[in-house]
Amino acid sequence: MPSDAAAGPASRDIVIEILRYRSETDQKPVPQAYRVPFTDDMSVLQGLQYIKDHLDGTLSFRWSCRMAICGSCGMMIGGEPKLACMTFLRDYYPGPLTVEPLKHFPIERDLVVTVGGFVKKIESIYPYLIPKTLRRLDEGEYLQTPSQLAQYEPFSDCINCMLCYAACPQFGENPDFIGPGAMALLQRYNGDSRDGAQAKRMEIVHADNGAWSCTAVGHCSDVCPKQVDPANAVNQNKTNSAVDFFLRFLRRPSDSPLGASDGGAP
Amino acid sequence: MSGPRPYVRPAETLWWAHPPYLAYTLREATGVAVAGYALVLLAGLVSLASGERAYDAWLDFLKSPWSLALHALFLIGMIVHVWTWFRIMPKTMPRLVIGGRLVPQNWITAVGLAMATAAFIIILLVAEWMQP
């Protein structure tokens, strides 16, 4: 078990102050401090696991992969949204280190936040390829050049950790804003040369809670642990939205935005 | 029924006054300097249209210490605005792929800043050349 290493002679102590909330007893979240022994190779997540295993079994937090792939352990570490598995206790020595649940989200319990709203947004953007023209199996694959792939590939690296939402002051003021993460996924499909459902997704971009709710703060891209650059996804869609708005006068009613045909499933 | 009772934290109102949002706040605030420049130029255009006396008065205003101080302030604001504006510019455009390779965003920022500097120098040279 990783936390056993902390008992070794080379360990130091750090105080971790966690914002706790137990809905059955607490009226509001309260900070609680724990003294945690750690070694240089221990992540904040391992620090939390040490607390749960040795100091206080009632502490709740989400985690799974321990290697920045699952996106479960996003939280405010030292006031910044970070993945606990990707952040090291040694960088906060001598502490104290504050750990809080992700900003802008309702707290379910301790470091666990409500993700329902975010999942709904992901569902709303047609998060799958809708081919321009359906190909029969004997017609072979949908082909794509490396340049076409480079247009959207980084947007497909999103792990849904929601750090970008915690970094977004506009989402803080308006929880209905579609937000950086969902918009990055939207652009992952809209930017794909094989996809033909741009018209459907542009409806979401145009909407009141779409791209125009963003004011280009840009911090979402700074905190992204996978270099997805969601600020780029949101802001290039302002351009797309504006172009789409002016070009609609030139299009025949049968045409769909951005020159793409709506080749949805039959 | 007793179930989970999610806690919604109160919204922060002063987020813009703290890092890491300060660069953004500065970019937006210095937009006022850009508008200020535009207003001064517009005033010049209006006074030009309303005759020689009005235009001379506008020129005299430009030479006053008040105006010089104002323009120093505008210049600082403008430089900050240009700097932060070109830093966010790559985020506002589609990914630039040349020859199958992604152009790094700081290159786009560098080209933008170089062009702004070049335009600034050209305008200074033209103004110098046009002086009577």
Q: How many residues does chain B have?
A: 132
Assigned domain for B41 exists = yes
Assigned domain for B8 exists = no
Q: How many residues does chain A have?
A: 266
pLDDT of residue A7: 52
Assigned domain for B114 exists = yes
Q: Are A186 and A125 a contacting pair, CB within 8 Å?
A: yes
Residue B113 sits in a domain of what CATH number?
1.20.1300.10
Of 3.30.540.10, 3.30.390.50, 1.10.3720.10, 3.10.20.30, which CATH number belongs to A2-113?
A: 3.10.20.30
| Cβ–Cβ gap A150/B7 under 8 Å | no
- Which residues in chain A touch residue B95, judged by CB atoms under 8 angstroms apart? 150-152, 154, 191, 232, 236
| Cβ–Cβ gap B91/A222 under 8 Å | no
- Which residues in chain A touch residue B13, judged by CB atoms under 8 angstroms apart? none
| Cβ–Cβ gap A147/B100 under 8 Å | yes
Q: CA–CA separation, A28 vs A83, rounded Å?
A: 24
Q: Which residues of chain A have pLDDT under 50?
A: 1, 3, 5-6, 256-266
pTM of the predicted model, to two decimals? 0.87
Q: What ranges do the domains of chain A cover?
A: 2-113, 116-259
- Note down pLDDT in tens along chain B; length 132 residues: 456 789 999 988 899 999 999 989 999 999 999 999 999 999 999 999 999 999 999 999 999 999 999 999 999 999 999 999 999 999 988 888 888 788 999 999 999 999 999 999 999 999 999 987
Assigned domain for B3 exists = no
Break chain A down into helix, strand, coil percent, rounded to 5. 40, 15, 45
Residue B9 at interface with chain A, using a CB cutoff of 8 Å: yes
Q: CA–CA separation, B67 vs B70, rounded Å?
A: 5
Question: Considering its fold, how many domains does chain B have in total?
Answer: 1
The 10s digit of each residue's pLDDT in A247-256 is 877 766 555 4
Domain region containing B74: 18-130
Q: Which residue has the tokens 């040279």?
A: B125
Structure tokens at A83: 């993945």
| Cβ–Cβ gap B15/A169 under 8 Å | yes
Arch. (CATH architecture) of A116-259 = Orthogonal Bundle (1.10)
Q: How far from A143 is each of A118, A137, A147, A266, B63, CA to CA, in Å?
A: 32, 13, 12, 21, 65
Give the one of A150, A173, A232 whose C-beta lies nearest to B91's C-beta: A232
The 10s digit of each residue's pLDDT in A143-189 is 999 889 988 999 999 999 999 999 999 999 999 999 999 999 999 99
- Which residues in chain A touch residue B91, judged by CB atoms under 8 angstroms apart? 216, 218, 221, 229, 231-232, 235-236
pLDDT of residue A8: 54
Assigned domain for B9 exists = no
Judged by CB atoms within 8 Å, which residues 195-214 of A form the interface with B?
none
Residue A187 at interface with chain B, using a CB cutoff of 8 Å: no
Residue B65 at interface with chain A, using a CB cutoff of 8 Å: no
Please give, rounded to a whole number of angstroms, the shortest distance from the CA of A266 to a CA of chain B. Answer: 31
pLDDT of residue A204: 94
pLDDT of residue B98: 87
- Residue A240: name the closest of A264, A205, A266 by CA: A205
Assigned domain for B4 exists = no
> What was the ipTM of the complex prediction?
0.82
Structure tokens at A109: 């319990």
Q: CA–CA separation, A236 vs B94, rounded Å?
A: 6
Assigned domain for B1 exists = no
